[in-house]
Amino acid sequence: MTIDDTQSAEQQLFNTGTLVPFRVLDTQTEIAPDQENLFVRVELMLEDDQEEADPEELVEWGAFGFLFALAALSFHDARPRGTSAIEFHSADLFTVADCLQALSFGRYGLRIETDYLRGRSMKTAVTIQPDGRVTLTTWGRGKSALHWLDRLQGKRRLQAVSTGPAAS
C-alpha cells in the first residue's frame, strides 16, 4: 500500500478503513434496564465477495484502519451526557493518539474500547480477530453503529421526501 505524504495519519487510516470489505453476520439489540438506552452488538466478517481474498490478509493490511474508521465515526456522532458537556467541542476530531490510548491486544484479538472522550459519550468497543471476525458493540448510542457500517459500505441514509405539491 502506497503512503500519501500529503495526508495526515488520521486521513490515511480512515481511507484504509473505508477500503476494508465486510459482511454483517448478525445484529443484536437489547433494551437496557432503564428502558431508554440500547445495547447493540454486531458480528461482522472481513471478506471480499469479488476477489475471494483471504480474511487473514484483509486483517493484516486493514485492521488498524478499520478500527480507526469505526472509532472516528463513533467519536463524530457522540454527544455529551451529563456533566461531560463541559469538555465537549463540536469541531473536535478523533486522533491517532486517541486511538492508541484505547487500543489493546488480547487473546481475542486487536481491540479498541472507548467510554467518554473529551466530553463525548462514545461507549463503543470493536474487536478484530486474526481470522477476520469482528465484533462491534455500543451501549447507550441507539442504533448508531448500524449507520456507521452503512456509511463504510457506501450506502446512503434514507431521507424524507416532501409529499406536498411540486413547485413550478
* 103 three-state secondary structure: strand
The vertex-112 CA angle with 72 and 62, nearest 5°, equals 70
Per-residue pLDDT, 160 = 60
Q: Given pLDDT bands bounded at 50, 70 and 90, which one contains residue 12?
A: very high
- 62 touches 46 (CB < 8 A): yes
Per-residue pLDDT, 85 = 79
DSSP symbol at 89: -
Estimate the crossing angle of helix 55-77 against helix 144-152, to 10 degrees.
Answer: 130
Mean pLDDT value of segment 21-50: 88
**Structural domain boundaries of the chain?**
9-152
Per-residue pLDDT, 87 = 84
| Average per-residue pLDDT for the chain | 88
The share of the chain scoring above pLDDT 90, in percent, equals 64
Cα Rg of the chain (Å, integer): 17
pLDDT at 65 over 60: yes
* 79 three-state secondary structure: coil
What tens digit of pLDDT does each residue of 124-147 get? 999 999 999 999 999 988 899 999
The vertex-76 CA angle with 74 and 78, nearest 5°, equals 65
Mean pLDDT value of segment 57-72: 95
CA 145 from centroid of its chain's CA atoms: 7
Per-residue pLDDT, 10 = 93
Per-residue pLDDT, 48 = 81
Mean pLDDT value of segment 91-108: 94
Report how far residue 83's alpha carbon sits from residue 38's, in angstroms, rounded to the nearest whole number.
21
* 36 three-state secondary structure: coil
pLDDT at 161 over 90: no
Contacts of 24 by beta carbon, 8 Å cutoff, 6+ apart? 42, 43, 44, 149
Single-letter residue type at 155: K
The share of the chain scoring above pLDDT 70, in percent, equals 89
The structure's pTM equals 0.85
Hey, what's the cell of 36? 431508554
Q: Given pLDDT bands bounded at 50, 70 and 90, which one contains residue 166?
A: low
